[in-house]
Amino acid sequence: MNKYTKSIFEYNNGQVGYDLQNNKIDYDVQRIINNQKREKELTLPSASELEVIRHYTNLSQKNFGVESGFYPLGSCTMKYNPKINELVSSFENFATSHPLLNEKYNQGSLKIYYDVCNLLCNITGMKAFSLNPYAGAHGELVGLMLIKQYHMNKKDYKRNKIIIPDSAHGTNPASASVCGFDTIKITSNEDGRINLDSLKKALNDEIAGIMLTNPNTMGMFEKDILEISKLVHQAGGLLYYDGANLNALLGKVKPADMGFDVMHINIHKTFSTPHGGGGPGSGPVGVNDKLVDLLPDPKVSFDGKKYHAIENSKKSIGRISTFYGNFAVNIKAYAYILSLGQEYLGSVANMAVLNANYIKESLKDYYDLVINEACKHEVVFNGLKTNPNNIKTLDISKKLLDYGYHAPTIYFPLIIEQALMIEPTETESKATLDEFISVMIRIAKEAIDNPDLLLNAPQNTYIKRIDEVSAARHPILKYKDIKDAKG
Ligand SMILES: *Cc1c(COP(=O)(O)O)cnc(C)c1O
């Protein structure tokens, strides 16, 4: 992982593993429109089959994933996804079915779509689901479009503001503004719970709704949720539930019972699809009675005998994706939910919460625990507890890389200055947690006795500490060809 390995662009020694011309591909250069012809000769790598294999193998080993080590990234739920779900979703009959086939040939796929919606309804208490959105943020956008349409249908055109607490995930205000809403930020208390006075002041007849997550981004359960839902509903607004991370609630509490009208789920966090690196994901949107008719098309219905694809339903907001979203991802959720069953879904929540609390209790003498009460699936520390050398959360996380761990989420939620947000997830064993805890304690001691170890970390990785600001402002995302750079 740490040694320098050649990139494929550096192989240029005349070796050829595969040649288009030898395969007599008939490419008609004349047909390329003139202004699309390259002016400079294309510098392609030339590499043998073995070199190509080495390139890709080395690339794959540069990655750090759940399958290479512990990955306690708060709010992202990087848990292990059983391989059986991958296998099921790649069955040939799923992989080769096409949404444009006559529905009589697609009964199995339509049934799965229908069943997954029902399973998600049971889990969340919602009335109906659409599996069409591709990701969490896409689900948020769709949910907000539904809220918007709901007010439009009531000719309540003034409602163009969405309330969002300052502890929210960044996608919440982003989705609200993409949907054309103004966002009203309200302050939360130090534990991330909503400040009721701040909420009451924000409520008026221009409020379309509020976006919340529960447990909140501090890992705390919002105890006032029923009061919050009453206040928002009385003011004529709707409640949006950011259900990206449902593992703390599975089989325990239903968002619909908390008063939420619309929500999304991240299948790629809670329901067993690997994520990171851009997908594919799935962000199903669930709604209660108020919004059922507005759900996007296509939908699936069942008449007791056959499944039907519904297009162009009268009140729908229309299509928000091609066909049925990322269908294969939703098959993985189907396999995952059915293999656990009602009984064991609850144990996901038990283990997620137990693991987070085990880490919280084991580290609270060394790291500054923000809220000293039981957390849900994740725990937030505000840097070190004893910190004579002014070590930052960034230094701690860089040192973790030296010890072979992926760093936790840092500097989020924004309300905690030196936030270090750890989510162990339910799939890790006690032995793994114990090892991580001992490394975290070791780092806390090094921070006092030998701070340079942290300030100069990481040392064991190929790339040492980078300049975070220029990496963000001037990212170089492609291999720079030396000839191009000169010429
Ligand atoms: C991950 C996450 C999202 C966004 O989900 P994407 O699939 O990455 O778009 C939204 N809210 C919370 C709380 C999240 O953790």
| 222-232 per-position pLDDT tens digit | 999 999 999 99
The pLDDT value recorded for residue 324 is 95
Both tokens of 299, joined, read: 């939908």
Query: Residue 22: what pLDDT?
Result: 60
pLDDT, residue 270, reads: 96
Closest ligand 1 atom number to CA of residue 269? 1
Q: Share the mean pLDDT of the chain.
A: 92
Pair of tokens at residue 74: 């708060």
At 130-170, the pLDDT tens digits run 999 999 999 999 999 999 999 999 999 999 999 999 999 99
> pLDDT at position 487, please?
34
Mean pLDDT of 339-348: 93
CB 426 within 8 A of CB 271: no
pLDDT value of position 190: 80
Q: Is the pLDDT score of 27 beyond 60?
A: yes
CATH number for the segment(s) 83-339: 3.40.640.10
How far away, in angstroms, is 214 Cα from ligand 1 center? 13
pLDDT of 295 over the 90 cut:
yes
For range 259-284, the mean pLDDT? 91
User: How far is Cα of residue 253 from the mean position of the Cα atoms in its chain?
Assistant: 21
Which carries the bigger pLDDT value, residue 479 or residue 108? 108
Asked if 425 contacts 77 with a C-beta cutoff of 8 angstroms, the reply is yes
Q: Which amino acid is at 115?
A: D
Kind of pairing, strands 182-186 and 161-165?
Answer: parallel
- What is the sign, positive or negative, of the torsion defined by CA atoms of 201, 206, 209, 212? negative
Query: Would the pLDDT of 24 be above 70?
Result: no
Top-tier CATH class for 347-472: alpha beta
Instruction: Specify the pairing of strand 262-265 against strand 238-243.
Output: parallel
pLDDT for 209 equals 98
Amino acid 44: pLDDT: 79
The SS3 assignment for 432 reads: helix
What residues are paired with 367 via a beta bridge? 384
Domain ranges of the chain: 8-61, 83-339, 347-472
**How does 18-31 read in b/e, with b if 16+ C-beta sit within 10 Å?**
eeeeeeeeeeeeee
**Separation between Cα atoms, residue 238 and residue 235, nearest integer Å:** 9
- Mean pLDDT for 180-206 is 94
Would the pLDDT of 486 be above 80?
A: no
Distance (angstroms) between ligand 1 centre and the Cα of 20 equals 42
Using the mean position of ligand 1's atoms as its centre, give its distance from the Cα of residue 323 in Å: 22
Atom of ligand 1 nearest to the CA of 268: 7
Q: What is the mean pLDDT of residues 88-104?
A: 93
Atom of ligand 1 minimally distant from the CA of 279: 7
Residue 342's contacts (CB-CB under 8 Å, 6 or more residues apart) are 122, 251
Residues contacting ligand 1 via CB (< 6 Å) = 75-76, 135-137, 169, 171, 213, 242, 244-245, 266, 281, 283
Contact yes or no for 84/335 (Cβ under 8 A)? yes
- Model pTM greater than 0.75? yes
Measured from the Cβ of residue 280, the count of other Cβ atoms closer than 10 Å reads 16
Closest Cα to atom 4, ligand 1: which residue? 136
Q: What is the mean pLDDT of residues 240-262?
A: 97
Which pLDDT band holds residue 14 (cuts at 50, 70, 90)? confident
Distance CA 67, CA 80 (A): 7
Q: Is pLDDT larger for residue 273 or for residue 261?
A: 261
Ligand 1 closest atom vs CA 137: 9
- CA–CA distance, 472 with 484 (Å, rounded to integer): 24
pLDDT (0 to 100) of residue 1: 45
Instruction: Mention every residue, 6+ apart, whose C-beta is less than 8 A from residue 354.
Output: none
Classify 214 as helix, strand or coil.
coil
